[in-house]
Amino acid sequence: MLYLASPYSDPDPAVMEVRFDAVCRKAGELMNAGNVVYSPIAPCHPIAVRVGLPRTWDFWEKFDREMLKGADSFAILRLPGWDTSKGVAEERKIAEELGIPVTEIDP
């Protein structure tokens, strides 16, 4: 399974919505090409919006760590902000600790 990481949190909800849309589109493109893809933003953004869950790495770390345990590859979607995202950096660190190959891909 490919774990698709991307930046998400931002003070502006419109930015988070754009990021959600972009990662869903890329995940769909990769799935259409025959890959098994998991992006934590795709299923979790709608839940977080509907019930007011925190949008911070501290809240999502445990969840993302468990999902990463099932991955055999890890890709960072290079959306604006990917290189300063705490969540992306921490997910990458966990992937590397687990020995999962890391790549970066364009939107």
CATH superfamily assigned to domain 2-105 = Hypothetical protein PA1492 (3.40.50.10400)
This prediction's pTM: 0.95
Residues of the chain with pLDDT under 70: none
Q: Domain extents for the chain?
A: 2-105
By CB neighbour count within 10 A (0-12 exposed, 13-18 middle, 19+ buried), where does 74 fall?
A: buried
Q: Which two tokens stand for residue 84?
A: 């300063």
pLDDT digits (tens, 9 = 90+) for 72-91: 999 999 999 999 999 999 99
Q: Residue 75: its pLDDT value, please?
A: 99
